[in-house]
Chain A
Amino acid sequence: MRGKWVNLAVLAVLAIAAVMASMALGIVRIPLRSVAEGLFFFNGSQEHLIVRGVRLPRAVIAAAVGACLAVAGCLMQGLTRNGLAGPELFGVNYGAALAAVISSFIFQTSSLEVFAASALVGAGAAGAGLLLLGSVGSGRWTPIRLVLAGATLNLLLASLMQGILILNNQSLDTMRYWLAGALTGRDMELFKIALPFMAAGLVGAFALGGHMNVLRLGDEAAQGLGQRVKGIKALCIIAIVLLAGGAVAIAGPIGFVGLAVPHLARALAGSDYRWALPYSALLGALLLLAADIGARFVLPGQEIPVGVVTAFVGAPFLLYLVRQRGGTT
């Protein structure tokens, strides 16, 4: 118990260090001292403008998005009892992306605010669709049923999105970068749009930790212990939609954080979800911050979308996972 608190504190310190590093490192070199001065004794210089106006929002957003994706993934993997589940699997990401593509097509815009608002709507619609699909016919929401419904929805939404992009070159041009998942050019205003959803999702997820422990025993056992299984699952899905939807709304569909981080979190925290969920949040923030710093240095003088970096880190991890652990949760 005490060890877990210590670990959590260590992770929190590391995450704060990563936020500082994210503000100091980049194409324009800024010494740590100037970062601190820029934050606390702002004097309007070019360096301070970069720290406050560009890097601080970016670091905060990276931490929040990483945490949300990882917690959403942790909930997903618990809910479906499938170690290969991630927020990508529920159609939430593509629901959000499809809505953003449609609004870029209709409104002829590349405004991140418009993308964010429509992505939130799209994520909500995909979540509602999933709940509906899962409820069709008789029977309970078994893990496999949820996975299949989610995967189907995901493919359907993805193909609709591709169709629209192919129809319109202009949308493709505008959306290409957004669809890879990126953190450049995001400001606090944008963050404020998604923050309430992300915060609600995080609070909800942490509150669900104890219930997830019961649910992990299997539907019958959980029911036997007096849990309203269906209600808990519905709450879980809503929390996932809030978390993943909020994250995608700001940064586009960043992959692999939601898949890989929960495994690391459980390796550190054990299978108690009351611990695994906050561990996931901190590890997710840490991973995305690190990936975002990496994205600034892969190509000299240029930045690549952070989603590409997480995919490169995540793909080998996925293979390792399948080989080592057989994906059991």
Chain B
Amino acid sequence: MIETLTTGSRKWFLLLALALTMVLVLAGCGGKAKVNIAEATVTPSAEATKGTDGGNASGSEPSQDARTIQDAYGEVEIPASPSKIVVLDIGALDNLLALGVKPIAAPSILAANDPYPSYLEGTDGIQNIGTVNEPNLEAIDALKPDLIIGNKDTHDGIRAQLQQIAPVVFVETLGVTWKANLKLHAEAVNKAAEGEELLKSYQAAADEIKGKLADKGGVQVSLVRPRADKIQVYLQDTFAGSIMTDAGVARPASQSEEGFSKDITEEQIAELDGDVVLWFNREPDAFAKLEKSPLWASLQAVQNNAVHPVEWEYWLSGLGIQAVNKVLGDLNTFLIEGQ
């Protein structure tokens, strides 16, 4: 059976070709997973739409009191006071609710129809439209929204389809850009002043913590996400990291570099040390495993009982102003009251 494969060089060549194909497929898998449902077939009609009404959404009536705002792609014309807003990520959901605007639909973080993060209030009646990574376009279309808010990083691939449903406002990305996102979200729902107000009170709260920490002579905080296969250290250029910087929270020397995160292995657990260790994750049991390591017990923070779990829903996946304030609250609890 196998011998036949070697009889001709042609078959040998076939085999090589097959191997090459697999390598290419694997290489393709390495890219970022993005929603790209039938984009190739939809794009031409999207182009056609652009030709007739200059890029405006065909689904909504041209309104007299339209505004123009600047999003991640350029100028977008949106209704003066949109009332049926669909958000495509939790950052936008969080910010809009904080601004007193209830979107009609939002996605779940991990699996469709998962409840919205429990730290958010007033999410009753918001329709679920799939997940952040895979929003259900048909469900969005059926809701006939007058504004869609998403982000370029996650939803670039479906922007053309979304534009056919309603005007689309995209922030650049989520996480460390949360301040700019809040401003754009506030502008999109015509509440720029309220947005500024929220940022101001955040700054005041952050400054207060900064002052108190300075009085204590600085506290070094290690921010850790234990995962099933590795330990992820969250650095400055993350959502939580940027808030910690604003609040004057110092990081251990091994964690004060720039960047999003770095992975360490069990052997490097010593790098996790600090006056306080804060950790979050969404993998059950991953922390229990870390805790079992003999190296873990050798950390100062562990010996001083200064290891605290924090809620991943707002430290990791909240990404809006309410999550920001919750993070500040935790910092206050664990670094100032708790010490």
Contact = CB atoms under 8 A, between A and B. Distances in A.
Contacts of A322: 2, 5-6, 12, 15
Contacts of A301: 262
A109 B268 CA distance: 24
B284 interface: yes
Interface string B251-290: 0000000000011011110100000000000111110110
Interface stretch (A13-21, A62-70, A116-124, A172-180): A172-180
Interface stretch (B118-126, B136-144, B293-301, B318-326): B293-301
B3 interface: yes
Interface stretch (A49-57, A157-165, A242-250): A49-57
Given A82-B2, A322-B15, A112 B268 contact: no
B283 A184 contact: no
Interface in A102-138: 108-112
B30 to A, nearest CB: 12
Interface residues of B, number: 34
A268 to B, nearest CB: 22
A87 to B, nearest CB: 18
A60 B304 CA distance: 34
B230 interface: yes
B37 interface: no
B215 interface: no
Nearest to B110: A169
Interface in A149-206: 168-170, 173-174, 176-178, 182, 184-185, 187
Given A302-B263, A303-B265, A49 B2 contact: no
Given A178-B228, A185-B229, A303-B265, A46 B285 contact: no
Given A178-B229, A328-B2, A108 B12 contact: no
Query: Of residues B3, B229, B262, B270, which shows the largest number of chain A Cβ atoms within 10 Å of its Cβ?
Result: B229
B3 A328 contact: yes
A184 B293 contact: no
Nearest to B228: A110
Interface string B188-219: 00000000000000000000000000000000
Nearest to B282: A170
B32 interface: no
Interface in B102-137: 110-111, 131
Given A27-B268, A52-B294, A178-B229, A110 B3 contact: no
B197 to A, nearest CB: 36
Contacts of A110: 228, 283-286, 289
A182 B270 contact: no
Given A46-B295, A110-B228, A111-B289, A323 B12 contact: yes
Interface string A90-111: 0000000000000000001111
Interface string A215-242: 0000000000000000000000000000
B10 interface: no
B298 A46 contact: yes
Interface string B1-26: 11101100000100110010000000
A177 B232 CA distance: 14
B289 A185 contact: yes
Interface in B141-179: none
Contacts of B270: 46
A26 interface: yes
A111 B229 CA distance: 11
The 10 closest A-B pairs by CB, nearest first: A177-B229, A327-B2, A53-B294, A110-B228, A111-B285, A326-B3, A110-B283, A28-B267, A326-B6, A110-B285
Interface of B: 1-3, 5-6, 12, 15-16, 19, 110-111, 131, 228-230, 262-263, 265-268, 270, 282-286, 288-289, 292-295, 298
29 contacts: A27-B265, A27-B267, A28-B267, A46-B295, A49-B294, A49-B298, A50-B267, A83-B2, A108-B284, A109-B284, A110-B283, A110-B284, A110-B285, A110-B286, A111-B288, A177-B230, A178-B228, A178-B229, A185-B266, A187-B292, A302-B265, A303-B265, A315-B19, A319-B15, A319-B16, A323-B12, A326-B3, A327-B2, A327-B3
